[in-house]
Chains A and B, each alone.
Chain A
Amino acid sequence: DTEVTQTPKHLVMGMTNKKSLKCEQHMGHRAMYWYKQKAKKPPELMFVYSYEKLSINESVPSRFSPECPNSSLLNLHLHALQPEDSALYLCASSQDRTENYNSPLHFGNGTRLTVT
């Protein structure tokens, strides 16, 4: 069982489609993250929300648009993606109360995205 829930598990979309990935956590964590992971590579940070505000955007193309409706939910809106965007998209959360609080990441099971 995972405490961070992601939907859908798998998604196939064309380059002209618009779709959304969803993430939910009920651990009371105040930081939520989107990572992109290619096969056998480490996760790459895309976005960080802290207390529902976007705090980090790692120069991600505008075809990826994050949204944090509340402290438990995180969405990633996808539009006009390219085949090279095919990857595992991982959501994570952490307590992250202060900068020096050692707070591990809790990952969801991810959404396997294929862009055709």
Chain B
Amino acid sequence: GENVEQHPSTLSVQEGDSAVIKCTYSDSASNYFPWYKQELGKRPQLIIDIRSNVGEKKDQRIAVTLNKTAKHFSLHITETQPEDSAVYFCAASLRGSARQLTFGSGTQLTVLP
């Protein structure tokens, strides 16, 4: 089955700095890569996703890059704000099916004011 590794497990940045979270996956059949943000006591929420036919996707301060050859993808958050503090989970979907979604272990991001 698919295996997704996520690093780092914790990340602290100063407000206004950038944050980068990296994930690797094992199965080349994975072709859909969502990122979820989970604030304390709340549900995971999709913040951005990327499909395997695209190398990069941006949405305001958030971007995701995908390197299919190396089987890794990354989340980039620029101009971080305190409200970005949360646990972020990457995931890889085998053949694009939500039924075959494997999560990474999560990254606790803390943005220091």
Give the shortest distance, in Å, between B85 (CB) and chain A (any CB). 13
Is the CB of B20 closer than 8 A to any CB of chain A? no
Contact assessment for B95 and A103 in the assembled complex, using a CB-CB cutoff below 8 Å? no
Contact assessment for A110 and B43 in the assembled complex, using a CB-CB cutoff below 8 Å? yes
Contact assessment for B96 and A100 in the assembled complex, using a CB-CB cutoff below 8 Å? yes
Is the CB of B112 closer than 8 A to any CB of chain A? no
Contact assessment for A2 and B43 in the assembled complex, using a CB-CB cutoff below 8 Å? yes
Which stretch (A13-21, A35-43, A59-67) binds chain B? A35-43
Assembled-state Cα–Cα distance A35/B31 (Å): 22
- A40-B106, A42-B104, A109-B42 known; A104+B34 contact, CB < 8 A: yes
Main secondary structure of the interface of B (DSSP, over half): strand
Is the CB of B93 closer than 8 A to any CB of chain A? yes
Chain B 77-99 near chain A by CB (<8 Å), digits 1 or 0: 00000000001010001011111
Q: A31 contacts which chain B residues (CB < 8 A)?
A: 98-99
Is the CB of B25 closer than 8 A to any CB of chain A? no
- A40-B87, A42-B104, A96-B98 known; A104+B49 contact, CB < 8 A: yes
Q: How many A-B residue pairs have CB under 8 A?
A: 65
Tell me the residues in window 35-82 of chain B with beta carbons closer than 8 Å to chain A beta carbons: 42-46, 49, 51
Q: A2 contacts which chain B residues (CB < 8 A)?
A: 43
Is the CB of B18 closer than 8 A to any CB of chain A? no
Q: A102 contacts which chain B residues (CB < 8 A)?
A: 31-32, 49, 51, 93, 96
Is the CB of B101 closer than 8 A to any CB of chain A? yes
- A31-B98, A50-B99, A99-B95 known; A42+B43 contact, CB < 8 A: no
Give the shortest distance, in Å, between B94 (CB) and chain A (any CB). 9
Contact assessment for A100 and B43 in the assembled complex, using a CB-CB cutoff below 8 Å? no
Contact of A48 among B31, B42, B43, B99 (CB under 8 A): B99
Contact assessment for B43 and A109 in the assembled complex, using a CB-CB cutoff below 8 Å? yes
Contact assessment for A41 and B106 in the assembled complex, using a CB-CB cutoff below 8 Å? yes
Assembled-state Cα–Cα distance A2/B46 (Å): 12
- A40-B87, A100-B95 known; A108+B43 contact, CB < 8 A: yes
Contact surface of A with B, Cβ cutoff 8 Å: 2, 31, 33, 40-43, 45, 48, 50, 55-56, 90, 94, 96, 99-110
